[in-house]
Structure 1
């Protein structure tokens, strides 16, 4: 039993479970013709959660073992600049709208989360936990720590926002008749960061490039506005 426990908590096992879950997600997406629910990240989350539950491994142990996967999140995020560079000519005429839309979107995201929690009777700590959900996970966690939120819960909510955006975002934009690939990418990146960007890249290279740009700018703007919002409130 002790040998099984040692094997289940080893870094190799944790990384293997994560990669197998993601690979299963890619296979399901191909087999279902890109069904919105067949998102590799969502499938990987379900597989990893099921595996560590069955093996009776706590999340902290799993996270420590799968650090290699987390390490590559930084380089992978930086690599999103590559498709943007390829589409740089499409930035023409977009600077003005982005300077208005992205800060406004970040502000609406923070205020709506804070206001909804307050309206439903939640405390300030919970409101500050949910407010930075539109930023990427590392940024939202750091902001939650700075303003007095609950970083662990912020991480969960941020990932959930990313998954929901990846699953439903393109459909919502289509129903709203948003057809410009640049606008679609900016909307997805601003609301569902890296997870939504992976879906956008799968849909269209232009859409994915602008989603990556929007993700980075939203994280920057949220980092600048969050302390000001806390001070004002």
Structure 2
């Protein structure tokens, strides 16, 4: 069994199988909190703990899947291309919304960390929680944070956004498709965008656009807001 767990195919297989199980469960029950990513994450953690498999053994194959996350993200440009006219019509509102959303996300996490008495390193590590992982890791390093904490924050933020984002928009009666997509993409990056794509093509297109712009805005604003508020 040790040889099986050490094989890179183990990490790939268990990731695909648990995600497929989560997808089937989600389609059957249709509960937002049963998002396939959430289900597969808990199933993998449970498996590793029960069978005493180290993360390094799992990641030998899991890292292969992680490698394809970047290229896979490119597909998000397809719905954006189809809605390019909508982007041109609402360019000012979209850029303004993403900028204010990113600033609010950075400010809120800093103030919350201060309210809970977290030290500066953890606080700066959580600042890039709403951007995509490559940008978040680099920004966290520049700010003096710990990339490992940043990654955890990004994953949790994405999962929460994918699960709760649509419900929050519905609660506040946000019905405009552009606004819904921008809100989800700005607050919960690519993981939230997977849910936005599921909601509709326009929402998915705007959410994928928000990922790039929010990343750029966060890189510019984060150092300024950290210096000002911390």
Does the Cα contact within 8 Å between 1:17 and 1:47 map onto a contact in 2? no
Structure 1: gaps spanning 5 or more residues: none
* Superposition CA RMSD, Å: 1.4
Q: Judging changes above 3 Å, is the alpha-carbon distance between structure 1 residues 61 and 142 closer, same or farther for their aligned structure 2 residues?
A: farther
Q: For 1:190-201, what aligned pairs fall within 5 Å after superposition?
A: 190-201=186-197
The CA deviation at 1:81 is 0.4
Alpha-carbon separation, structure 2, partners of 1:166 and 1:99? 22
User: 2 CA distance for matches of 1:213 and 1:99?
Assistant: 10
Equivalent-residue separation in structure 1 for 2:165 and 2:226 (angstroms): 29
Shift of 1:167: 0.6
1:146 is aligned to 2:167: no
Structure 1 length normalisation: TM-score?
A: 0.93
TM-score normalised by the chain length of structure 2: 0.95
The offset of 1:85, in angstroms, is 0.6
Match of 1:42 in 2: 38
CA distance in 1, matches of 2:20, 2:61: 19
User: Which residues of 2 match residues 75-90 of structure 1 at below 5 A?
Assistant: 75-90=71-86
Q: How many residues align?
A: 229
Instruction: Determine if contact 1:105/1:190 at 8 Å carries over to the other structure.
Output: yes
* Bigger relative contact order (CA 8 A; separation at least 6): 2
Unaligned runs of 5+ in 2: none
**Counterpart of 2:34 in 1: which secondary structure?**
coil
Asked whether 1:189 is paired with 2:185, we answer yes
SS in 2 for 1:56: coil
Q: What is the alpha-carbon distance in structure 2 between the residues aligned to residue 220 and residue 195 of structure 1?
A: 18
1:61 CA displacement: 3.1
Query: Residue 14 of structure 1 aligns with which residue?
Result: 11
Distance of 2:34 and 2:223 partners within structure 1: 37
Matched, 1:24 2:24: no
Partners in 1 of 2:226 and 2:87 — Cα distance? Answer: 33
Shift of 1:16: 0.4
Residue 101 of structure 1 is matched in structure 2 by 97
